[in-house]
Amino acid sequence: MYQPVTPAIAEKLAAIVGSKNLIYQDEEKLENYSRDEVAEKEYARMPEVVVKPNSAQEVSAVMKLANDANIPVTPRGAGTGLSGGAVAAHGGILLSVENMNRILEVDLDNLMVVVEPGVVTNEINETLKEHGLFFAGYPMSLQSCFVGGNVAENAGGGRAIKYGVTGRYILGLEVVLPDGEIVQFGGKRVKDVTGYNMVQLLVGSEGTLGIFTKIIIKLLPLPTTKIDLLALFPDVETAINVVPRIMTEGRLVPTGIEFMDRLSISTTHDYLGEKMPYPETNAALLIELDGSSAQQLRDDALAVSEILTENGAMEVYAAETPDTQEKIWKVRRNIAEAFKAISPVQSLEDIVVPIARIPDLMPVLAELQQKYDVLIPCYGHAGDGNLHATVVKKTETDINVWRETLPRLLEELYQKVFALGGTISGEHGIGYKRKSYLPLVLSEAEIALMKKIKLAFDPKNILNPGKIFDLT
């Protein structure tokens, strides 16, 4: 049984972080920390107190106090997550890293950067730009998210096909454990097989094993030029079948390959007040190429365009300038807003299937749309099989009917995705939102082992409890 945050505990917390970095008994301010980007209000939870430490030592002191008093602690970055992972499911202390927002070191000799968890991810690359370097593993929401949250979720994005996801670039972590101990895992070492790989265990652990206070990130040379291609196809199968050919026949790896189904394309064109250039389009691919040689990139783009055309693309548009690139990305960037305009009540999903099974997924989505009388646009990262199949409530559907049927729809969707060799999340995480569905895709043995790991780090289960799975 967890203990409440009493006025006496709040005073002790204020002594650690300073009274200006504590929010207590102020419902309006606490409410700002009660949710992340999950639309469903039922996943919101009010913390009892918010603390904003300024250092690893202050984080450690907060955790020691919480561990001794048996009070749950929820770490939080920018609150841009899509799984309820940064929501205080059991109340208690919400620990925001927003004040720990410094880029501590740009190490040009080792091609690494050392940052605190509250740094906005985009600021890292803005700082590195003048050195001709970049952090390649960032997600698509880099302008709003904190790097600590990216690491906690092992965030991905549209460029994972070439550059991989966040975890590929994390070489070291300073971590405060649930009992308050400060531990350094990894370091500025590209190769390290000394014992278990604790860094990669902590990456993607969703704030359940420790709180990151310092992050060491490997850097790459910044590409100097980019070309985007928009290819329109008559059907999904033709579009997806060409994806591996780009790499096998073109002998190159695109930065990213984004997919959009017809419902996503047509709805977004209507939202933007534009006409579809090819009304018979039932699928589209957005292909991004980058590099350091403008001429080589043009040659690569021409080769990819020929492969697309030879394999069924009705039209291929190329964009080299920022203006033309924004024009062909406009639809993809506005899909989410287009469906929010139709209905703000929706469930943004994050399913993953093997790339070749994407065409098999489309009939599943069509069947579920009809069976449950909802809209399910499908778009996302064709290059890695990670698709955002968003379940959208129709305006005429009663909200109580929606709440009753959505869990059944999601269970059926997840079961069929699993049958296709897929799983329920590729980049958003399990968190609070998907934990009840975890047994659909992981065995009892896998979940039991994860629980043992959790208890080894956190015997009292005070750090971000109620996420990924429940401990009894």
What CATH number is given to the structural domain containing 42? 3.30.43.10
Q: What is the pLDDT of residue 262?
A: 96
User: Are residue 213 and residue 108 in the same domain, yes or no?
Assistant: yes
Of 111, 92, 110, the C-alpha closest to 4 is 92
Residue 472, domain member (yes or no): no
User: Are residue 421 and residue 327 in the same domain, yes or no?
Assistant: no
Q: What is the pLDDT of residue 41?
A: 83
* pLDDT tens, per residue, the chain with 472 residues: 899 999 999 999 999 999 999 999 999 999 999 999 987 888 999 999 999 999 999 999 999 999 999 999 999 999 999 999 999 999 999 999 999 999 999 999 999 999 999 999 999 999 999 999 999 987 766 678 999 999 999 998 888 999 999 999 999 999 999 999 999 999 999 999 999 999 999 999 999 999 999 999 999 999 999 999 999 999 999 999 999 999 999 999 999 999 999 999 999 999 999 998 899 999 999 999 999 999 999 999 999 999 999 999 999 999 999 999 999 999 999 999 999 999 999 999 999 999 989 999 999 999 999 999 999 999 999 999 999 999 999 999 999 999 999 999 999 999 999 999 999 999 999 999 999 999 999 999 999 999 999 999 999 999 999 999 999 7
User: Are residue 141 and residue 181 in the same domain, yes or no?
Assistant: yes
User: Are residue 92 and residue 142 in the same domain, yes or no?
Assistant: no
Q: How many CB atoms lie within 10 A of CB 92?
A: 25
CA-atom Rg of the chain in angstroms = 23
Pinpoint the alpha helices (H) of 385-443. Answer: 399-419
Dist CA 231 CA 317 (whole Å): 6
User: Are residue 297 and residue 361 in the same domain, yes or no?
Assistant: no
Dist CA 167 CA 131 (whole Å): 23
User: Are residue 333 and residue 368 in the same domain, yes or no?
Assistant: no
Q: What is the pLDDT of residue 237?
A: 94
Residue 311, domain member (yes or no): yes
Tell me if residue 257 falls in helix, strand or coil.
strand
User: Are residue 21 and residue 66 in the same domain, yes or no?
Assistant: yes
Q: What is the pLDDT of residue 277?
A: 86
Of 159, 189, 221, which residue is a domain's last?
221
Q: Are strands 93-96 and 73-76 parallel, antiparallel or unpaired?
A: parallel
Residue 147, domain member (yes or no): yes
Q: Which whole-number Å values give the CA distances from 89 to 75, 207, 307, in the listed order?
A: 11, 13, 50
User: Are residue 138 and residue 53 in the same domain, yes or no?
Assistant: no
Of 98, 126, 150, which residue is a domain's last?
98
Structure tokens at 316: 């291929």
Residue 455, domain member (yes or no): no
Residue 1, domain member (yes or no): no
Of 164, 189, 221, which residue is a domain's last?
221
Residue 120, domain member (yes or no): yes
Q: What is the pLDDT of residue 140?
A: 65
Q: Are strands 351-352 and 386-389 parallel, antiparallel or unpaired?
A: antiparallel
Q: Which whole-number Å values give the CA distances from 110 to 128, 151, 154, 190, 344, in the listed order?
A: 14, 21, 23, 9, 46
Asked whether the CA dihedral 194, 195, 197, 198 is positive or negative, the reply is: negative
User: Are residue 145 and residue 190 in the same domain, yes or no?
Assistant: yes
Name the DSSP class of 65: H
Residue range of the domain that includes 230? 223-341
Residue 157, domain member (yes or no): yes
Q: What is the pLDDT of residue 142?
A: 60
Dist CA 184 CA 243 (whole Å): 41
User: Are residue 186 and residue 235 in the same domain, yes or no?
Assistant: no
CATH number reported for the structural domain that contains residue 129 in this entry? 3.30.465.10
Q: How many domains does the chain have?
A: 4
Residue 248, domain member (yes or no): yes
User: Are residue 237 and residue 213 in the same domain, yes or no?
Assistant: no
User: Are residue 228 and residue 335 in the same domain, yes or no?
Assistant: yes
CATH number reported for the structural domain that contains residue 228 in this entry? 3.30.70.2190
Dist CA 340 CA 426 (whole Å): 22
